[in-house]
Copies of this chain bind each other. A is one copy, B any other.
Amino acid sequence: MQILKDKILKDGKAIGTDILKVDSFLNHQIDVKLMTEIGEEFKKRLYKEGVNKILTVEASGITVAFAAAQAMGNLPVVFAKKAAPKTMITGAYTAEIISFTKGTQTIIRVAKEFLKPGDKVLIIDDFLASGEAVLGLLNIVRQSGAECLGIGAVIEKEYQGGSAKLRAMGYNVESLAIISSIEDGKINFK
């Protein structure tokens, strides 16, 4: 998606060989017009007959999932909530997400009433790196008896292997901007 790549080059901040900060339009301040266009792009790339729900995880995933849901005829969005490990959780499907980069461990949960057998969901998130967050969401989808028909990310760091892992599992993965490497603050797209 060219306008997204242009935006990343213009306003993204690459640090070292791994970190890309997009706080100015995606993760802290939100470029509303761009997000609405991103929603339309996800519709083009991922929508198929039968999809009835968008699943994401708080907080930055919510905007892109919402914009995609608008484009797909106002589908409901469900966002997984985060909780500290060892929090007592009832009435919900849970999964553990380990962030290798941050060295943190998070439990995500989705109330059982919002994900059911027969649901056909798209998983949409802001970033796809090692794929841990999506794997956690897939774990929850599996527990619920629902089905995942596709996975979308705004920005993929291809070199962290998440998309390869997910495609090897048979999933359709669409990332709107794919970064093949970051070198000394320079962003290289695939």
Chain-B contact segment, one of A75-83, A164-172, A180-188: A75-83
Roughly how many angstroms separate A114 CA and B69 CA in the complex, as a whole number? 27
Chain-B contact segment, one of A24-32, A136-144, A153-161: A24-32
CB distance from A126 to the nearest CB of B (A): 12
- Is A36's beta carbon under 8 Å from chain B? yes
Roughly how many angstroms separate A62 CA and B59 CA in the complex, as a whole number? 8
| Chain B residues, Cβ within 8 Å of A24 | 113-114
Question: B77 to A29, Cβ gap below 8 A?
Answer: yes
Contact string against B for A residues 50-94, beta-carbon threshold 8 Å, 1 for contact and 0 otherwise: 000000001100110011011000111111010000000000000
| Chain B residues, Cβ within 8 Å of A179 | none
Q: How large is the interface on A (under 10, 10 to 19, 20 to 34, 35 or more residues)?
A: 20 to 34
Roughly how many angstroms separate A55 CA and B76 CA in the complex, as a whole number? 24
Q: Given A59-B58, A59-B79, is A70 in contact with B32 using a C-beta cutoff of 8 Å? A: yes
How many copies of this protein are present in the complex? 2
- Residue on B nearest A80 in the bound complex, by CB: B28
Question: A79 to B30, Cβ gap below 8 A?
Answer: yes
21 A-B pairs with C-beta separation under 8 A: A23-B111, A23-B114, A28-B78, A28-B79, A28-B114, A29-B114, A30-B62, A30-B66, A30-B69, A30-B76, A30-B77, A32-B69, A32-B70, A35-B66, A58-B58, A59-B79, A62-B62, A62-B63, A63-B63, A63-B77, A66-B67
List 7 additional A-B contacts (Cβ < 8 Å) besides A32-B74, A32-B75, A33-B74: A24-B114, A29-B77, A30-B66, A30-B77, A32-B77, A36-B70, A36-B74
8 cross-chain pairs, A with B, having the tightest CB-CB distances, nearest first: A58-B59, A33-B74, A59-B59, A30-B77, A32-B74, A32-B69, A29-B114, A29-B78
